[in-house]
Amino acid sequence: MPDDARTPLKAFPQAARPLPPEASLNAEERARILAKAAIFSPPDATLPDGRRDLVGMTHAQLVEEMRGMGEKPFRAKQLWHWIYHQGARDFGVMNSIAKPMQAKLAERFVVGRPEVATEQTSADGTRKWLFRFRDQQQVETVYIPEDDRGALCISTQVGCTLSCSFCHTGTQKLVRNLGVAEIVGQFMAARDSYGEWPTPKGEEGRRLSNIVVMGMGEPLYNYENIRDALVIIMDHEGIGLSRRRITLSTSGVVPVMDLCGQELGVNLAVSLHAVRDDLRDELVPLNRKYPIAELLAACRRYPGASNARRITFEYVMLKGINDSVAEAQELTRLLQGIPAKVNLIPFNPWPGSQYETSTHASIQAFADVLSRAGYSSPVRRPRGRDILAACGQLKTETERARRG
Ligand code: SAH
Ligand code: SF4
């Protein structure tokens, strides 16, 4: 078991460290991004009948909530155990809590889950859910099984503001950010689907052993919600997944990358996809704001990056666009000094997409250049293509309601 799975996770253990000077320069920009996230905030956590969802409250918020009812903090600890360790959804099964108290809790609260609109399992075992939330908005979540473990790919937004030209989600406007309960809820509902409750002891032998924040949306444009959700998921008295088993992928929101490293310290994946700014401007339009040099500087200062914990650079292989040997060589030059590995993702087509997947031979040639330079460069095997569950294929039909 990794060390940090045993130590209780204090919220933001590293936050006391000052940001490096380059990162502090970004402070204003970061404040602007965090404020903007609020415009796309999720609906209130209170149901129409006035009850509140306990899922999505941090431990401190739960303690506060109990205090409001005149209860001691140990009540929050009990509830936490039932919700996140046992997976209980009904106060009636919480047998360490006396019946009258159970009834009182049920009057005020619920233990929520997103509704499963559809669940599909691919021929290769990949499972995809379409989850529906209270306001009828929907996201997709994908479970990718390996032999004795598996990763859950979770979404952070309905749609995405960034329109990367090769990404299906990018064709859908941003509808809204997901709330903490909706992010944690994807993991809990997937656990329900596999019956993986109570939380297995230690981290071995879990079906849902890893999380990749690589579904719909840009997580660093919904940072505070994803942060609280991951803090809940990492709490060792509940789900207890360590930060080493969580990887967050960003298209390169530089000012928030620093904060993510400081407060969460999860593994970082960066969607690079091109080695020149002119091409990256086209593929990942956010590059016009935070060009490659700035992005790589943020990677160099990402806390905790080391040879044991490399930053993953994702590189989608687009035939004739970004897949030449010369580009592979340039990539090795760019990555110098960064503890890095490169994940080569064969482009996954979607209805109406304008690109083709690179040939097997060119992917191999590209990977060879990287591995000769000492970079591990696994080619990501497409999973669940038959159910449109592979990278960049996720999209829902829900739209932003007209405002005003
Ligand atoms: N918004 C974040 C995380 C979600 S996308 C980000 O962009 O990093 C997860 C990964 O899938 C990214 O690396 C993205 O570039 C990649 N991707 C998107 N569309 C793809 C496609 N059609 N084929 C292969 N990979 C794709
Ligand atoms: Fe958004 Fe990531 Fe898709 Fe780009 S690749 S449009 S950032 S989800």
Atom 17 of ligand 1, residue of closest alpha carbon: 392
Q: Closest ligand 1 atom, CA of 250? A: 8
Query: What is 115-403's CATH number, 3.90.79.10, 3.20.20.70, 3.40.50.2300, 1.20.1070.10?
Result: 3.20.20.70
Domain with CATH 3.20.20.70 in the chain: 115-403
| 51-112: CATH topology | DNA polymerase; domain 1 (1.10.150)
Other residues' Cβ atoms within 10 Å of the Cβ of residue 204? 10
Supply the pLDDT for residue 97. Answer: 96
214 alpha carbon – ligand 1 mean position (Å): 7
Say how far apart CA 320 and CA 382 lie, in whole Å.
20
CA-closest residue to ligand 2 atom 6: 170
Nearest one of 250, 239, 227, 254 to 203, comparing CA atoms:
239
Instruction: Encode pLDDT of 14-39 as tens digits.
Output: 444 566 666 666 788 889 999 999 89
Ranges 33-47, 84-98, 256-270, 273-287: which has the least confidence: 33-47
Cα 68–Cα 69–Cα 74 angle in degrees, nearest 5: 95
| Ligand 2 nearest atom to the CA of residue 163, by list position | 6
Among 302, 324, 314, 308, which Cα is nearest to 346's?
A: 314
- Give the distance (Å) from ligand 2 centre to CA of residue 271: 9
Give residue ranges with CB within 6 A of ligand 2: 160, 162-164, 167, 169-170, 217-218, 251, 271
For the CA of 314, the nearest atom of ligand 1: 13
Q: Which atom of ligand 1 is nearest to the CA of 393?
A: 22
Q: Give me ligand 1 centre to Cα 296, in Å.
A: 18
Specify the ligand 1 atom closest to the Cα of 213. Answer: 3
Verify whether residue 299 is a known catalytic residue.
no
Share above pLDDT 90 across residues of the chain, in percent, rounded to a whole number: 77
Alpha carbons 327 and 273: distance in angstroms, whole number: 10
Q: Is the pLDDT of residue 11 over 50?
A: no
Indicate which ligand has the atom closest to the C-alpha of 222. 1
Residue span(s) of the chain under CATH 1.10.150.530 come to 51-112
CB atoms under 10 Å from CB of 13, counted, come to 16
**Residue with CA nearest ligand 2 atom 8:** 217
Nearest to 392 by CA among 132, 183, 140: 140
Q: Tell me, what's the pLDDT at 14? A: 46
Q: Check whether 337 has a pLDDT greater than 80.
A: yes
Q: Looking at residue 308, what is its pLDDT? A: 81
Which residues form ligand 1's pocket by a CB distance below 6 Å?
A: 164, 166-167, 214, 218, 249-251, 271, 314, 316, 345, 347-348, 391-392
Active-site residue 391, yes or no?
A: yes
As a three-state string, the secondary structure of the chain is CCHHHHCCCCCCCCCCCCCCHHHHCCHHHHHHHHHHHHHCCCCCCECCCCCEECCCCCHHHHHHHHHHCCCCHHHHHHHHHHHHHCCCCCHHHCCCCCHHHHHHHHHHEECCCCEEEEEEECCCCCEEEEEECCCCCEEEEEEEECCCCEEEECCCEECCCCCCCCCCHHHCCCCEECCHHHHHHHHHHHHHHHCCCCCCCCCCCCCCCEEEECCCCCHHHCHHHHHHHHHHHHCCCCCCCCHHHEEEEECCCHHHHHHHHHHCCCEEEEECCCCCHHHHHHHCHHHHCCCHHHHHHHHHCCCCCCCCCCEEEEEEEECCCCCCHHHHHHHHHHCCCCCEEEEEEECCCCCCCCCCECCHHHHHHHHHHHHHCCCCCCECCCCCHHHCCCCCCCCCCCCCCCCC
pLDDT score of 16: 46
pLDDT band at 403 (very low <50, low <70, confident <90, very high): very low
Residue of 22, 64, 140, 203 marked active site: 140
Distance of CA 181 from the midpoint of ligand 1 (Å): 24
Q: Residue 202 CB: number of other CB atoms within 10 A? A: 12
Look at 236 and 2; give whichever has higher pLDDT: 236
CA of 114 to the centre of ligand 2 (A): 23
Q: Which amino acid is at 226?
A: I
pLDDT at residue number 399:
65
Contact assessment for residue 239 and residue 187, using Cβ atoms and an 8 Å cutoff: yes
Whole-angstrom distance, CA of residue 398 vs CA of residue 404: 18
Ligand 2 centroid–CA 215 distance in Å is 9
Q: Is the pLDDT of residue 317 over 90?
A: yes
